[in-house]
């Protein structure tokens, strides 16, 4: 389906002298939205063509303007080196609005059809509660999954649990010394954290505890049944806790295969590294020298022969390629792990796996905590469940006042409260370091998640009152209606931009643009009370289209959209 930009690019190409070396796609990329609507709805800058056409940019703009015809454009005017286009209102309604209404999947495509994308995200280290730092990988990862699905990819979401390593020796030791099943059942993950912290405290006084922990982990590695049973129980307890958070976020995974799954898959990769003569012994440890690539060495085996984080990631990537035959395998983690990924991606390349360039690391900025400390119990660790609980409570108290009889109130408060936090987080550019301020996340004024969800509910309520989905009648439209339809028509290009840059915040910003356009329309145009019937019906159709696109956009950034708030 052709977007407005595609349509205009085609017409520009037609107007250019034959033989001009420019593709329609390149023109699409060059088209800009002028800062001021009075200049036009879209603009084509002619500066880059100056050399090839041996003409000054304004002359090129004039030349294109003279020949240019396109049903999407009412008029084209030259301003400096730009050709500015004013879009045709009739075309926007007859072509674009109808395109939205005709396709429930408007904005998506089948670009990725038949291709598999594996996404590794969230991936917490078990026995630790979910804190605010995990929000990034979880919602960015899930949003990228939704975006890829929306354009036709098959996606496989993996929660690569950090469920292996020496810390389990510590936890088993702590449990044997101080713990009981009764307390684990009662206290859940918090109890595990407590005894883990106690282990560290006491090990400072009594270092033999560390030896004992190493022994317990070693036994675990050798498959000791009792230790395995404890480890399984700890994992179960952790998952119960995580599942609660995932459920609030409405996030599910296709697999929870964590680090432990790859224990028996590492030796083959280590052997392969040896066979290819890529392993070097450095102070007893086995490493891959990456100095040629200006990277520190990648550690494969410790001195005692035990494996490391990169070793497991390499084995996991090989397994995933063999099992899912991905076109792309995306890893979403904090930028603090960028070096780790650069190193082992390089090792995979050196191992001559032909798919090395299908591995993609998507880093995000670190999240630090400022403002209110919610939990004294966990020091300054801000737990996601506490943040969500505070948000839900705030929403619920507002509802208590404004809409106490709402059906499904608890569910709605959860969708709006959790949504507020997620929306706030996904408003920032992914790579920016952010200082999380709870009051800001819970401020529902202005450009917030609740505002967007409320706009969605407003559409639903209008449609309910209208009792029909409306239709395109060809009635003349106002400037507000034009802006709304124009914004709706931009959804596909925003989706593509978000995908290209792996950037959910592109969608968050689009949601705000769409809400702004809709609310201007809502406040300035009578919808159900308009005088003429054909105007009412067409405006109702615009509300339908807004509900459809806004709902989809909210889903893409992991927000639910209740029909009533």
Written as six digits, the tokens of 103 are: 């396709």
Token pair for 24: 């329609």
Q: Which of 57, 107, 124, 136 binds ligand ARG (CB under 6 A)?
A: 124
Rounded distance between C-alpha atoms, residue 283 and residue 373, angstroms: 44
Among residues 331 and 510, whose Cβ is nearest to ligand ARG? 331
Least Å from the CB of residue 166 to ligand ARG: 14
Shortest Cβ 123–ligand ARG spacing (Å): 4
Residues 225 and 474: their CA atoms lie apart, in Å, by 74
CB of 315 to ligand ARG, least distance (A): 11
Instruction: Out of 7, 88, 123, 159, point to the residue binding ligand ARG (CB under 6 A).
Output: 123
Site stretch for ligand ARG (CB under 6 A), options 46-54, 120-128, 224-232, 404-412: 120-128
Cβ closest to ligand ARG, residue 159 vs residue 248: 159
Contacts of ligand ARG in 145-164 (CB under 6 A): 160, 162
Kindly tell me which of 336 and 380 has the beta carbon lying closer to ligand ARG.
336
Q: Point out which span in 15-23, 87-95, 122-130, 283-291 binds ligand ARG (CB under 6 A).
A: 122-130
Query: Residue 564: how many CA atoms within 13 Å on its side-chain side?
Result: 12
The token pair that represents 317 in the structure block: 């990537």
Name the residue nearer to ligand ARG (CB basis): 61 or 308: 308
State the nearest-atom distance from the C-beta of 122 to ligand ARG, in Å. Answer: 8
CA dist 262 and 164 (Å) reads 10
Q: 330: part of which helix (H) or strand (E)?
A: strand 328-334
Q: Which two tokens stand for residue 136?
A: 């990034």
Q: Which residues pair with 362 in a beta bridge?
A: 332
Query: What b/e sequence results for 381-420 when a residue is b if at least 16 CB atoms lie within 10 Å of its CB, and e otherwise?
Result: bbbbbbbbbbbbebbbebbeeeeeebeebeebbbbbbbbb
Question: Minimal distance in Å, beta carbon 60 to ligand ARG?
Answer: 50
- Torsion (CA) 192, 198, 201, 202 in degrees, nearest 10: -120
Name the closest residue to ligand ARG (Cβ): 162
The structure tokens listed for 214 are 């190493």
DSSP letters, 240-295, are HHHHHHHHHHT---SB---GGGGGGGHHHHHHHHHHTT-EEEETTEEEE--GGGT-
Please tell me whether residue 269 binds ligand ARG under the rule CB under 6 A.
no
Residue 120 sits in the site that holds ligand ARG (CB under 6 A): yes
Q: What contacts 392, CB < 8 A, 6 or more positions away?
A: 413, 414, 417, 418
How far is Cα 480 from Cα 105, in angstroms, rounded to an integer? 24
Interatomic CA distance for residues 208 and 26, integer angstroms: 66
Residue 105 or 323 having the CB closest to ligand ARG: 323
Name which of 88 and 123 has its Cβ closer to ligand ARG.
123
> Which range touches ligand ARG (CB under 6 A), out of 117-125, 202-210, 365-373, 520-528?
117-125
Backbone angles phi, psi at 437, to 5 degrees: -115, 115
* Minimum distance of ligand ARG from residue 223's CB (angstroms): 23
The helix/strand/coil state of 301 is strand
Provide the β-strand partners of residue 301. Answer: 286, 307
Q: Kindly tell me which residue out of 77, 125, 167, 447 binds ligand ARG, with binding defined by CB under 6 A.
A: 125
Region near ligand ARG per CB under 6 A, out of 123-131, 226-234, 248-256, 491-499: 123-131
Nearest distance in Å: CB 163, ligand ARG? 9
| CA dist., res. 416 & res. 64, Å (int) | 49
Pairing of strands 42-45, 82-87: antiparallel
Smallest separation (angstroms) from ligand ARG to the CB of 117: 15
**Smaller CB distance to ligand ARG: residue 261 or 518?**
261
User: Which residues are CB-neighbours of 188 under 8 A, at least 6 positions away?
Assistant: 237, 240, 241
Q: Residue 300 is inside which H or E element, if any?
A: strand 298-301
Minimum distance from residue 124 beta carbon to ligand ARG (Å): 6
In the region spanning residues 289 to 328, those forming contacts with ligand ARG, defined by CB under 6 A, are 313
Q: Is 255 in the site for ligand ARG (CB under 6 A)?
A: no
Compare residues 217 and 262 and give the one whose CB is closer to ligand ARG. Answer: 262
Question: Closest distance between ligand ARG and the C-beta of residue 147, in Å?
Answer: 19
Judged by CB under 6 A, does residue 333 bind ligand ARG? yes
Are 94 and 474 in contact, with CB atoms under 8 Å apart?
A: yes
Nearer to ligand ARG, 217 or 331 (CB): 331
Count of residues engaged in binding ligand ARG, rule: CB under 6 A: 9
Residues 419, 388: Cα–Cα separation, whole Å:
9
- Cβ closer to ligand ARG: 120 or 386? 120
The correct pick among 326, 331, 423, 436 for binding ligand ARG (CB under 6 A) is: 331
Under the criterion CB under 6 A, does residue 238 sit at the interface with ligand ARG? no
Find the shortest distance in angstroms from Cβ 310 to ligand ARG: 9
CB of 167 to ligand ARG, least distance (A): 11
Stretch that binds ligand ARG, among 75-83, 118-126, 212-220, 395-403 (CB under 6 A): 118-126
**Rg (Cα) of the chain, in Å, rounded?**
28
In b/e form, how buried is each residue of 230-269, taking b as 16+ CB within 10 angstroms? bbeebbebbbebbeebbebbbbebebbbbbbbbeebbeeb
When the beta carbons of 237 and 257 are compared against ligand ARG, the nearer one is 257
Q: How far is the CB of 275 from ligand ARG (least distance, A)?
A: 24
Pick the closest to residue 372 from 448, 445, 450, 436 (CA basis).
Answer: 436
**Footprint on this chain of ligand ARG (rule: CB under 6 A):** 120, 123-125, 160, 162, 313, 331, 333
């Amino acid at each position: 389906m052709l977007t407005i930009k595609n349509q205009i690019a085609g017409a520009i190409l037609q107007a250019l002298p034959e033989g001009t070396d420019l593709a329609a796609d390149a023109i699409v990329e060059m088209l800009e939205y002028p800062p001021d609507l009075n200049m036009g709805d879209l603009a084509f800058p002619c500066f880059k063509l100056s050399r090839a056409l041996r003409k000054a940019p304004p002359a090129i703009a004039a030349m294109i303007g003279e020949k240019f015809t396109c049903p999407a454009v009412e008029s084209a005017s030259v301003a400096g080196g730009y050709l500015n286009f004013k879009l045709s209102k009739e075309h926007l309604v007859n072509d674009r609005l109808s395109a939205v209404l005709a396709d429930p999947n408007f904005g998506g495509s089948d670009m990725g059809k038949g291709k598999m994308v594996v996404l590794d995200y969230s991936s917490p280290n078990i026995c630790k509660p979910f804190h605010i730092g995990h929000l990034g990988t979880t919602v960015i990862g899930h949003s990228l999954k939704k975006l890829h699905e929306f354009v036709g990819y098959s996606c496989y979401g993996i929660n690569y649990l950090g469920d292996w390593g020496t810390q389990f020796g510590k936890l088993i030791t702590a449990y044997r010394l101080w713990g009981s099943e009764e307390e684990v059942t009662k206290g859940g993950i918090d109890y595990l954290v407590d005894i883990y912290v106690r282990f560290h405290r006491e090990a400072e006084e009594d270092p033999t505890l560390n030896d004992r922990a190493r022994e317990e982990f070693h036994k675990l590695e050798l498959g000791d049944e009792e230790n395995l049973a404890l480890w399984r129980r700890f994992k179960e307890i952790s998952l119960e806790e995580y599942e609660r958070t995932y459920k609030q976020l409405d996030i599910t995974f296709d697999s929870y295969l964590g680090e432990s799954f790859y224990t028996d898959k590492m030796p083959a990769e280590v052997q392969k590294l040896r066979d290819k003569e890529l392993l070097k012994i450095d102070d007893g440890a086995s490493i891959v020298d990456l100095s040629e690539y200006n990277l520190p060495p990648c550690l494969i085996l410790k001195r005692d022969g035990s494996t490391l984080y990169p070793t497991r990631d390499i084995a996991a990537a090989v397994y995933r390629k063999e099992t899912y035959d991905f076109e792309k395998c995306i890893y979403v983690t904090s930028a603090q792990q960028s070096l780790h990924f650069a190193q082992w991606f390089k090792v995979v390349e050196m191992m001559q796996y032909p798919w090395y360039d299908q591995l993609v690391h998507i880093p995000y900025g670190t999240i630090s905590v400022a403002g209110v400390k919610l939990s004294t119990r966990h020091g300054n660790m801000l737990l996601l469940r506490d943040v969500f609980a505070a948000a839900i409570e705030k929403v619920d108290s507002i509802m208590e006042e404004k809409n106490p009889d709402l059906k499904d109130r608890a569910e709605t408060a959860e969708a709006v409260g959790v949504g507020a936090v997620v929306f706030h987080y996904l408003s920032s550019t992914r790579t920016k370091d952010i200082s999380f301020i709870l009051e800001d996340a819970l401020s529902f004024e202005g450009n917030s998640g609740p505002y967007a969800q409320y706009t969605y509910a407003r559409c639903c309520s209008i449609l309910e009152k209208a009792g029909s989905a409306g239709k395109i009648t060809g009635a003349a439209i106002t400037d507000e209606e034009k802006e709304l339809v124009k914004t709706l028509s931009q959804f596909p290009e925003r989706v593509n931009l978000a995908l290209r840059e792996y950037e959910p915040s592109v969608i968050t910003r689009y949601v705000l643009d769409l809400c702004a356009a809709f609310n201007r329309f809502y406040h300035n145009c009578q919808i159900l009370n308009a005088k003429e019937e054909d105007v009412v019906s067409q405006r109702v159709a615009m509300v339908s289209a807004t509900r459809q696109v806004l709902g989809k956009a909210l889903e893409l950034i992991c927000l639910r959209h209740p029909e009533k708030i």
